[in-house]
């Protein structure tokens, strides 16, 4: 009887990265065709789902640094897809929201995006997809915990 060798973590990580890149390569062209970039799409998506938000709260939600959020919001503002309103009580706070034009352009694009994602996951069953989500959440939480502990630990095999 042949015993299965446990997969190497580095191999699993490479497979994960390749899958992410393949999915991005599949999903990005329709976004680019609308004159938007990946960061623009993420900002519009969070505004669609959460409504108007202060610009400084968008970055952590969509995993963009503050500078990238500002650049994306500026681009979207120039295209008329979002509005920016300064707070009356604190001029440092600007609230960003979808404009009617932004909603009209983004809602159909988002619906197409979700349909494309369904095609990507069509070869796995709903239970496999749920299991994949659970596993990825566990790995992500473990990495967050490890990152919170003084950073990466060097093993005797690590490169110095």
Report pLDDT digits (tens) over 70-117.
Answer: 999 999 999 999 999 987 787 778 899 999 999 999 999 999 999 999
In a domain, 148, yes or no: no
**Which of 84-88, 132-136, 149-153 is modeled with the greatest confidence?**
132-136
In a domain, 126, yes or no: no
Closest among 48, 22, 24 to 37, alpha carbons compared? 24
In a domain, 108, yes or no: yes
Number of domains in the chain: 1
In a domain, 67, yes or no: yes
CATH number at residue 87: 1.10.10.10
In a domain, 66, yes or no: yes
* Domain around 49: 9-119
CB atoms closer than 10 angstroms to residue 121: 13
CB atoms closer than 10 angstroms to residue 81: 25
Residues 6-64: tens digit of each pLDDT: 779 999 999 999 999 999 999 999 999 999 999 999 999 999 999 999 999 999 999 99
Is residue 18 exposed (0-12), middle (13-18) or buried (19+ Cβ within 10 Å)?
Answer: exposed
| pLDDT at residue 151 in the model | 56
In a domain, 133, yes or no: no
In a domain, 65, yes or no: yes
């Amino acid at each position: 009887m042949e015993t299965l060798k446990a997969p190497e973590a580095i191999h699993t990580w490479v497979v994960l990265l390749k899958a992410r890149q393949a999915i991005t390569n599949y999903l990005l062209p329709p976004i680019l065709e609308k004159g938007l970039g990946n960061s623009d799409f993420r900002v519009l998506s969070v505004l669609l789902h959460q409504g108007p938000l202060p610009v400084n709260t968008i970055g952590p939600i969509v995993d963009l640094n503050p500078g990238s959020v500002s650049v994306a919001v500026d681009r979207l503002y120039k295209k008329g897809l979002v509005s920016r309103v300064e707070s009356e009580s604190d001029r440092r706070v600007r609230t960003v929201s979808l404009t009617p034009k932004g909603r009209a352009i983004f809602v159909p694009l988002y619906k197409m995006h979700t349909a494309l994602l369904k095609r990507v996951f069509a070869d796995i069953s709903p239970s496999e997809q749920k299991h994949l989500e659970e596993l990825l959440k566990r790995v992500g939480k473990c990495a967050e915990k490890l990152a919170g502990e003084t950073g990466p630990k060097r093993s005797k095999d690590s490169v110095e």
